[in-house]
């Protein structure tokens, strides 16, 4: 079956690292289609991506990573893709590792998370203390809510099966961090098989972490409120 895998790259003002990432993808996984979702970028992200031969969707306003993924999932469902891999635009994720994420999908998993902390994974860049503490809390919370041990709950390196895509195309959480942690919890609650694979991640090719300090704290509080309020909830099955 040709062209059943779609690589999705949500990108907000990533004109600099993007060409390198797309080039690597072309060289290392040439059989996969690539979709770049420009999330209301104000630079040349969309043009640069088009020039590199990727399919491009341009959101007219910034919707956040979750919003960009939502439209990508709908695109994948309409296009009949069997599997989707999400990759960061800043070059943190190595294309060769992509195939490792897809192995569990072919074995029947629905959501595979590329983890910096699981066995086989390696972290070659520094993470701030606030972020590290936050991650530990999220890990414990996710385990309490789902009974599953996921070591890297906020990883943006993930693979999705077709049924997972159809589910998320209807109900993906769009708020910051909801797109990773809440999505993971919702998938577990809806009975999807979630697995984790240890992967290496490089430092980001450019740019600073998206949020820090008080804002990050606010996002954590908001996420915890939503997760706790939704504990034990069975998602509506449309």
Partner 1 sequence: MTWRAHAVLVIAALITMVFVLRLVRRRDLRGKYSLLWLATGTVFLVLAIVPGLLDWIADRLGVGYAPAILFGLAIVFLLLVLVHLSWELTRLEDRTRVLAEDLALLRGDLDDEPG
What x-and-dash track marks residues 83-112 binding partner 1 by CB under 8 A? ------------------------------
State how far Cα 91 lies from the chain centre. Answer: 13
Would you mind telling me the total number of residues written for the chain in this entry? Answer: 238
By CB under 8 A, tell whether 121 contacts partner 1. no
**Which member of 1, 30, 42, 61 binds partner 1 (CB under 8 A)?**
61
Adjacent-strand bridge partners of 208: none
Q: Evaluate whether 87 touches 157 at the Cβ level (below 8 Å).
A: yes
Pick 133 or 233: Cβ nearer partner 1? 233
Residue numbers 202-231 binding partner 1 by CB under 8 A: 221-223, 225-226, 229-230
Residue 34, SS3 per DSSP:
strand
C-alpha torsion angle, residues 51, 53, 59, 61 (rounded to 10): -30
Q: 137 or 225, CB closer to partner 1?
A: 225
Q: With respect to partner 1, which residue has the nearer C-beta, 166 or 175? A: 175
Instruction: Give the nearest distance from C-beta 215 to partner 1 in angstroms.
Output: 12
Interface with partner 1, residue 37, by CB under 8 A: no
Binding residues for partner 1, total number by CB under 8 A = 12
Are 90 and 207 contacting, i.e. CB atoms less than 8 angstroms apart?
yes
How far is the C-alpha of 33 from the C-alpha of 26, rounded, in Å?
9
CB 37 within 8 A of CB 11: yes
Give the x-and-dash track for 149-188 against partner 1 (CB under 8 A).
Answer: --------------------------x--x----------
* CB nearer partner 1, residue 125 or residue 218: 218
Nearer Cβ to partner 1, position 211 or 230? 230
60 lies in the binding site for partner 1 (CB under 8 A): yes
User: Rounded CA gap, 184 and 192, in Å?
Assistant: 9
Q: What value, to the nearest 5°, has the Cα angle with vertex 52 and ends 161 and 164? A: 10
Those residues whose C-beta lies under 8 Å from the C-beta of residue 230, and which sit 6 or more positions away, are: 182, 185
Nearer to partner 1, 3 or 233 (CB): 233
Name the residues that contact partner 1, by CB under 8 A.
60-61, 175, 178, 221-223, 225-226, 229-230, 233
């Amino acid at each position: 079956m040709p062209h059943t895998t779609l690589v999705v790259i949500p990108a907000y003002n990533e004109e600099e690292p993007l060409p390198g990432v797309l080039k690597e993808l072309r060289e290392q996984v040439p059989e996969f289609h690539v979709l770049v979702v420009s999330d209301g970028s104000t630079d040349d992200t969309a043009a640069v991506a088009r020039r590199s031969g990727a399919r491009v969707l341009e959101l007219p306003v910034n919707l956040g990573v979750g919003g960009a993924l939502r439209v990508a999932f709908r695109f994948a469902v309409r296009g009949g893709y069997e599997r989707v891999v999400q990759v960061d635009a800043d070059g943190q994720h190595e294309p060769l590792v992509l195939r490792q994420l897809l192995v569990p999908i072919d074995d029947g998993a629905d959501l595979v998370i590329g983890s910096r902390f699981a066995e086989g994974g390696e972290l070659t860049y520094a993470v701030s203390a606030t972020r590290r503490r936050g991650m530990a809390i999220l890990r414990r919370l996710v385990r309490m809510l789902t009974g599953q041990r996921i070591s890297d709950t906020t990883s943006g390196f993930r693979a999705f099966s077709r049924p997972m895509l159809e589910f998320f195309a209807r109900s993906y959480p769009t708020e910051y961090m909801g797109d990773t942690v809440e999505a993971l919890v919702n998938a577990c609650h809806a009975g999807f098989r979630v697995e984790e694979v240890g992967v290496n991640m490089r430092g980001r090719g450019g740019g600073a972490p998206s949020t820090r300090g008080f804002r990050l704290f606010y996002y954590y509080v908001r996420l915890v409120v939503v997760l706790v309020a939704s504990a034990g909830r069975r998602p509506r099955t449309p």
